[in-house]
Amino acid sequence: MDRTLKILTPKGGTYLEQIVEGFKSALSLIASFDVELYSIVGLTLFVTIIATGISALLSVPLGIFLGIKDFPLKSLAIRILYTCMSLPPVIVGLFVFLMIARRGPLGRFGILYTVTAMIIAQILLVTPIITGIVYNGTLEKGRDIKNLGKTLGASRPQLLFLLIRELRIELFAGVISGYGRAISEVGAVMIVGGNIQGHTRVMTTAIAMLRSMGDYEMAIALGLILLGLSFVVNFTLYHFQQKA
């Protein structure tokens, strides 16, 4: 029998029985409101919501600007944006690590292996995604909205508010997509956060570690919760895209 299956169910049994037992134990762990389990979930939600919120504040104005303005080297800026949208998370994690390491330019702040470092890494990952989606949405009808606002005599703040209101479906879709990337991220947060129990351990990094340790009960429990959150995110995104 496979070693991992022995760890999962020491008493043996068929492969299907072992899987069923693992899921039963995981569901029991979820229903019992295990402190360690829900502390990991809570930290995950905190990091991803803060990172996505900050990214949205940066990305929405930038994406709208790129969509309605023409400027020199805009095509180059858009190509760089699209490249950043698909950056490997480990590359982002490595970059942030080098910046905040003890000998790095930002090492004096001492934020390596902290929640702050994880949030920074996720901001760098999520911001290009939200910006790109907002840009594409603005490109389709942003100029028409801008021209309409100018015809009605709108000031710059009023014009920005008008664009945000009329493009709210596209903007929300971008934010939700960015959050989906943040909550499923493992490489970058592992590098800069260190996966420290009780401090920087989030669902994705915990699942990776627990699998290697053979603690499948907790890993499956976290996986089920993560799957549920991902379903909610994607369901919300699909709902708003249908309304667009």
Residues of the chain above pLDDT 70, percent: 93
| Cα 216 from Cα 210, distance rounded (Å) | 7
Give a yes or no: residue 12 inside a domain.
no
Taking the alpha carbons of 100, 101, 107, 110 in that order, is the dihedral positive or negative?
A: positive
Instruction: Write down the pLDDT at residue 244.
Output: 58
Q: Is residue 231 part of a domain?
A: yes
Average pLDDT of span 90-106: 95
Instruction: Tell me if 111 is assigned to some domain.
Output: yes
Average pLDDT over residues 174-193: 92
- Domain count for the chain, please give it: 1
Confidence bin at 1 (pLDDT 50/70/90): very low
Domain that holds residue 48: 38-243
CATH code of the domain in which 70 resides: 1.10.3720.10
Residue 33, domain member (yes or no): no
Q: Return d(Cα 79, Cα 45) in angstroms, integer.
A: 31
Q: Is the pLDDT of residue 240 over 90?
A: no
* Domain-embedded: residue 8: no
Neighbour count for residue 126 (Cβ, 10 Å): 28
Q: How far is CA 53 from the centre of its chain?
A: 11
Residues found in the chain: 244
d(CA 146, CA 137): 14
Residue 23 belongs to a domain: no
11-28 as b/e, with b when 16 or more CB fall inside 10 Å?
A: eeeeeeebbebbbebbee
pLDDT tens figures, 135-151: 998 888 888 888 888 88
70, 117 Cβ separation under 8 angstroms? no
At 39-49, the pLDDT tens digits run 999 999 999 99
pTM: 0.87
Quick check: 183 and 48 in contact, CB under 8 A?
yes
Q: Is 123 helix (H, G, I), strand (E, B) or coil?
A: helix
